[in-house]
Structures are given as C-alpha cells and as structure tokens.
Amino acid sequence: QERLVIKNADLSITVDDPTKSMDAIAYLAESLGGHVVSSNTYQTYSNNGNRIPEGTITVRVPSEKLTETLDRIKADAVDVENETVSGEDVTDQFVDLQSRLKAKKAAEAKLLEIMNQANTTEDTLNVYAQLQVIQSDIEVLTGQINYYERSAAMSLITVRVIATEKSQPIEIGGWELGVTASEAVQDLIDYIQGFTQFMIRFIIFTLPVLITIALPFYVVFLGVRAIWRRNRTKKTAKAEVNEEK
C-alpha cells in the first residue's frame, strides 16, 4: 500500500494590493489544475485611518505541486508573516476502510443470494432489512474512502492577504503612535478583565458569604425589635388604663 498523506498549508502574507493578489492566487491555483474553495474580501483600517482591503482565500492544488504553489505565492508577496505546512499520514485508516468495505460488499452479495432463494414473503422482508443496513454502511465507507483520496490528491492552502499599509506603524519624530495605541488598548483590556473577574468573584463568593454572616444578626435584630415593640405596647396600654382610673 502506497503511503497516503494529506498535506495542507496556512500562509499569511503582506502585499501592496490584496485584491489583485487574491485574484492572482486564484488564477495560479486554476492554472496548476486546482480550484478556489472559498474567497472572502473585507475592509479594514490602516494605522493612519485609511480604509484598505484585506482578505482570505482558500484553494486546492495537486499535492505534488504544493511546494511550487507556495513558492510562487511567496515570491509575489512583500513579506511572509506566517507559514505552516502540515502533513497527516492516513494510510492505516485508509487500509482499514478498504478492508471493511470489502467485507461489507461480500455480505451484500451473500444477502442478495439468500433473498433470491427465499421462499416466503417474511423471509424476503427480513433479508431485505439486513441488506438495507449493509448497503447504508457501504455508502458511508465509500464516502470516507473518497474523502481521504481527494484530500491526499489535492492539498488545501489557506492564505491570509494583508495590505502593507496596515502593517506600517505611524511614526512622528521617532515616536510610533501605533505602538502607543496598541499599549493603551491592551491596558484597557487588562482593566476590563480585572474588573470583570472582581465582579464575578464578588457576586459568586463574597456576596453570599456576607449575606451568610449578616443573616443571623438580622434575625436577632428583628427578634429584639419585636420584643421591644411588644413591651412598649404593653406599657402604653397600662399607662392609658391608669389615666382612666
């Protein structure tokens, strides 16, 4: 059994014109015998406030042309920020699926033979029910085998295309405003996270503890107040009786 390896790649590049680069990547994939799986373009903002396009494109190319495709994509880029190439050997799973499929097909042939020889309607229906289960398993196994074959034959490449204008920091008199802004945003995030953690801890732990501690004192207070009011009511009633006498 020839080794069956699924190879995929993820790439992040900076370019002068993201839209043009994505079109070039799509054309490259098709020219090499591949195709575009998905393409997404959206608007972002550079450090100086300009709206610039950015996007992500996913293509499939023949696995033997994966390295060539990556080299040509990187050759047209201003910079490569990230590159990851992964490989997964699925030979064992593929062989196991083929063996199971062979066994299911043998069982299917045997059931068809039995059904043809059935003498009663009940026997025919029983065999037919088993045959449906076997045929359903065959469809599932065939789909999994086809998936492995297609994935190994056609590598998946996902490319994030970033405009060079966005990656350049704003600098005035040697002061990079983009760095200062990033630090300020990070400080704000840290504050929000700390405040949120404090509120969660206060609501879930501190508040119930305070209520548990204060509850007995509150009950005693209610009891003392009730006794005091009752005694005061008795004294008032006694004073009114004495005045009437």
Query: Tens digit of pLDDT for each residue in 151-168?
Result: 999 999 999 999 987 544
What lies within 8 Å, CB to CB, of 40 at 6+ separation is: 55, 56, 57
Q: Check residue 176 and give its pLDDT.
A: 47
Q: Are 157 and 30 in contact (CB under 8 A)?
A: no
Residue with tokens 């043009």: 20
Place of tokens 């119930």: 208
Secondary structure element (H or E) that encloses residue 98, with its range: helix 91-117
The torsion angle over the Cα atoms of residues 61, 64, 69 and 72, rounded to 10 degrees, is -160
Decide: 121 and 130 in contact? Cβ < 8 Å. no
Mean pLDDT of 94-104: 95
Inter-residue contact 59 to 34 (CB < 8 Å): yes
Q: Which of 44-53, 142-151, 152-161 has the lowest mean pLDDT?
A: 44-53
Percent of the chain with pLDDT strictly greater than 70: 78
Over residues 130-155, the mean pLDDT reads 94
C-alpha–C-alpha distance, residues 153 and 5, integer Å: 9
Q: Residue 174 pLDDT more than 50?
A: no
The angle subtended at Cα 28 by Cα 25 and Cα 30, nearest 5°, is: 110
Which residue type sits at 177? L
**44 vs 61, which has greater pLDDT?**
61
Q: What pLDDT is recorded for position 179? A: 43
φ/ψ of residue 89, rounded to 5? -85, 115
From CA 177, how far away is CA 183, in angstroms rounded?
10
Q: Which residue has the tokens 């990079």?
A: 176
- Asked if residues 51 and 191 have their Cβ atoms less than 8 Å apart, the reply is no
pLDDT digits (tens, 9 = 90+) for 198-221: 677 667 767 676 677 777 767 776
Q: When comparing pLDDT for 221 and 42, which is higher?
A: 42
CA distance 6 to 156: 9
CA 161, CA 79: separation in Å to the nearest integer? 10
Lookup: tokens for 219 = 């009950």
Site of tokens 């995929």:
8
Distance CA 234, CA 242 (A): 12
- Does the pTM surpass 0.85? The reply is no
